[in-house]
Chain A
Amino acid sequence: NAGVIQTPRHKVTGKGQEATLWCEPISGHSAVFWYRQTIVQGLEFLTYFRNQAPIDDSGMPKERFSAQMPNQSHSTLKIQSTQPQDSAVYLCASSLDTSNSDYTFGSGTRLLVI
């Protein structure tokens, strides 16, 4: 069990560029979550998939952020036209199912927008 795998570990983009972050959940886990962590805001919920279907994206900034889960082995978080305020650590987590919120987190992608 390699745990939740996130790539890349670090990403630097110029303002206005696109950034795509990848997450591979633990095999067999049906729930996948994306969070964002900053010093000021702490951990913020972004979006959640259950059995690959988007269930709740209430934490996602509407205009430039999107997330997909095309198959059970990976999810992507895409940020278009990145802004400096998007700089954060983006964390992916998975859990076995939605009746058990015992999360396992990945190591995160540290995004820096300059």
Chain B
Amino acid sequence: GQQVQQSPTSLVLQEGENAELQCNFSTSLNSMQWFYQRPGGSLISVFYNPSGTKQSGRLTSTTVIKERRSSLHISSSQITDSGTYLCAMATNAYKVIFGKGTHLHVLP
């Protein structure tokens, strides 16, 4: 079936280091979205990025549709960046499939 693979599963950084999160899709996709979630918290949209590169502050997302992949780059990580980052792909107009997430821990 359709799958979304995220890597790494978990990542531990020292504050100030950069992070690169990857998302790979098993099928062609219409669009994709990155979400952030704190433990016990709701899903917060970070980027809706069907293709190309988008930047917001210290976060940059790049989606390459034909290669079925997307990445999320976090520069100069901060303790408050800790949490789970999930990528999700839409293969048709509405159904979105989520990856298992990357658990990020930023240490002081």
- Counting chain A residues whose Cβ lies within 8 A of the other chain, the interface size class is 20 to 34
Chain B residues within 8 Å of A103, by CB: 33, 43, 45, 88, 96
Number of A-B contacts (CB under 8 A): 55
Shortest CB-to-CB span from B28 to chain A, Å, is 14
- Distance between Cα atoms of A90 and B96 in the complex (Å): 16
Q: Is the CB of B96 within 8 A of A101?
A: yes
Given contacts A101-B31, A101-B33, contact A107 B94 (CB under 8 A): no
Chain B residues lying within 8 Å of A31, measured Cβ to Cβ, are 94
**B95 contacts A99, CB within 8 Å?**
no
Contact assessment for B94 and A42 in the assembled complex, using a CB-CB cutoff below 8 Å: no
Contacts of B33 in A (CB 8 A): 101-103
**Best-buried of A33, A55, A103 by chain B (most CB within 10 Å):** A103
CB–CB A108/B95 < 8 A: no
